[in-house]
Amino acid sequence: MAKHFLSLADQSTQELRALLDLARMIKLNPSGYAQACKGQTLAMIFQKPSLRTRVSFQTGIYQLGGQGLYLGPTDIQLHRGETIADTAQVLSRFVDGIMARVFAHADVEGLAEHGSVPVINGLSDLLHPCQVLADLQTIEEKKGRLAGLKMAYVGDGNNMAHSLLYGGARMGMTVSISHPRGYAPDAEVTARATAIAAGTGGAVQVTEDPREGVADADVVYTDVWASMGQEDEHKERLARFEGFQVSADLMGCARPDAIFLHCLPAHRGEEVAAEVIDGPQSVVFDEAENRLHAQKAIMVRLMGR
Ligand code: CP
Ligand code: NVA
């Protein structure tokens, strides 16, 4: 097992499989893991807001017998110029693991490089691997398998698109990304996911046509059009993303038994129609719940005694 959880590209298919199996076991029998991280402290650095990540990690580490320490943007000294390297070294003298939500992906890498305790990426501008572990758990619960399924992501080629590319490719899925011109996923991420998929029987497709992207999909996924830190671009993006809303009409291009996922928070009437996210194909709250179980699995694997 990799020492950190920064990117799904760094996890082998076997490691991901083991994490998903552990997450399922923890969900079935939470009390069996009540001592798994007994007496351990997880530092939780948040440079951006959060509902799901904050509450699921804080609750999750407590349920494993440990404690979480919320460190918001102005609680520590990063915003006053203390370096990531010093922060990592100091925290490593006090705590047993660090979860961090940051802007620059290099910051979670820096925490891992300079600290001596496991580091979990709770979202960076590049990746959101904890979310996708929970997504894979959700898809497997609903569909009974991952390999061979088509997962269609519609929207911005952002951190969610990137982690879905890596996670889906690792598990042998076909991942299609449809995006407006100018909002493609990072070319290096797409190339790396394509190479991963070549070894797992999966595939990667990138298109500017959402109907083509969603055609015959088993899973349809979207995310906000303006991510945290892009609030200034919101108005411009509303215009640029026209035609990329997951509407009932677009869902109709997918398989009739397709499920709809969204990492949340959602903006009804923008990236998704209310009738889709609140409709019978939506599994978004099971998906949100699985953040807890999936992240407990990550903590047991990285910090467990
Ligand atoms: N999906 C997700 O990570 O939600 P939060 O930003 O609320 O943590
Ligand atoms: N792409 C979104 C994901 C939120 C969970 C963001 O970075 O804001």
**What is the pLDDT at residue 305?**
77
> Which of these is catalytic: 291, 293, 295, 301?
291
Q: Looking at the domain assignment, is residue 13 inside a domain? A: yes
In angstroms, the CA 58 to CA 40 distance is 12
pLDDT tens readout for residues 244-301: 999 999 999 999 999 999 999 999 999 999 999 999 999 999 999 999 999 999 999 9
> Roughly what angle, to the nearest 10 degrees, separates helices 13-28 and 159-170?
100
Q: Looking at the domain assignment, is residue 2 inside a domain? A: no
Task: Indicate which CATH number applies to the domain containing 261.
Answer: 3.40.50.1370
Claim to verify: residue 218 and residue 116 sit in the same structural domain: no
Ligand 1 center to 46 CA (angstroms): 11
Q: How confident is the model at residue 111 (pLDDT cuts 50, 70, 90)?
A: very high
Is pLDDT of 212 > 70?
yes
Nearest to 98 by CA among 111, 79, 109: 111
Sign of CA dihedral 143, 148, 149, 151: positive
Give the count of domains, the chain. Answer: 2
What number does the ligand 1 atom closest to the CA of 122 have? 3
Q: Looking at the domain assignment, is residue 3 inside a domain? A: no
Q: How confident is the model at residue 2 (pLDDT cuts 50, 70, 90)?
A: confident
Q: Looking at the domain assignment, is residue 1 inside a domain? A: no
Claim to verify: residue 141 and residue 282 sit in the same structural domain: yes
What number does the ligand 1 atom closest to the CA of 54 have? 8
Claim to verify: residue 219 and residue 166 sit in the same structural domain: yes
Claim to verify: residue 102 and residue 207 sit in the same structural domain: no
Residues composing the chain = 305
Ligand nearest to the backbone CA of 124: 2
Is pLDDT of 118 > 80?
yes
Claim to verify: residue 139 and residue 246 sit in the same structural domain: yes
Q: Looking at the domain assignment, is residue 60 inside a domain? A: yes
Claim to verify: residue 261 and residue 135 sit in the same structural domain: yes
Claim to verify: residue 179 and residue 148 sit in the same structural domain: yes
pLDDT tens readout for residues 195-207: 999 999 999 999 9
Among protein residues, the one with the nearest Cα to ligand 1's atom 4 is: 52
Claim to verify: residue 62 and residue 145 sit in the same structural domain: no
**What is the pLDDT at residue 1?**
58
Claim to verify: residue 83 and residue 146 sit in the same structural domain: no
> Which of these is catalytic: 4, 54, 101, 237?
101
The answer to whether 211 is a known catalytic residue is: no
Q: How confident is the model at residue 145 (pLDDT cuts 50, 70, 90)?
A: very high
- What is the average pLDDT value for the chain, to the nearest integer? 98
Q: Looking at the domain assignment, is residue 144 inside a domain? A: yes
CA 225 to each of CA 159, 181, 242, 269: distance values in angstroms, whole numbers, following the listed order? 12, 13, 10, 11
Whether this prediction's pTM lies above 0.85 is answered by: yes
Q: Where in the sequence is the domain holding 207, given as residue range(s)?
A: 131-287
Mean pLDDT of 175-192: 98
Claim to verify: residue 102 and residue 172 sit in the same structural domain: no
Claim to verify: residue 296 and residue 197 sit in the same structural domain: no
Claim to verify: residue 103 and residue 141 sit in the same structural domain: no
For the chain, percent of residues with pLDDT exceeding 90 = 99
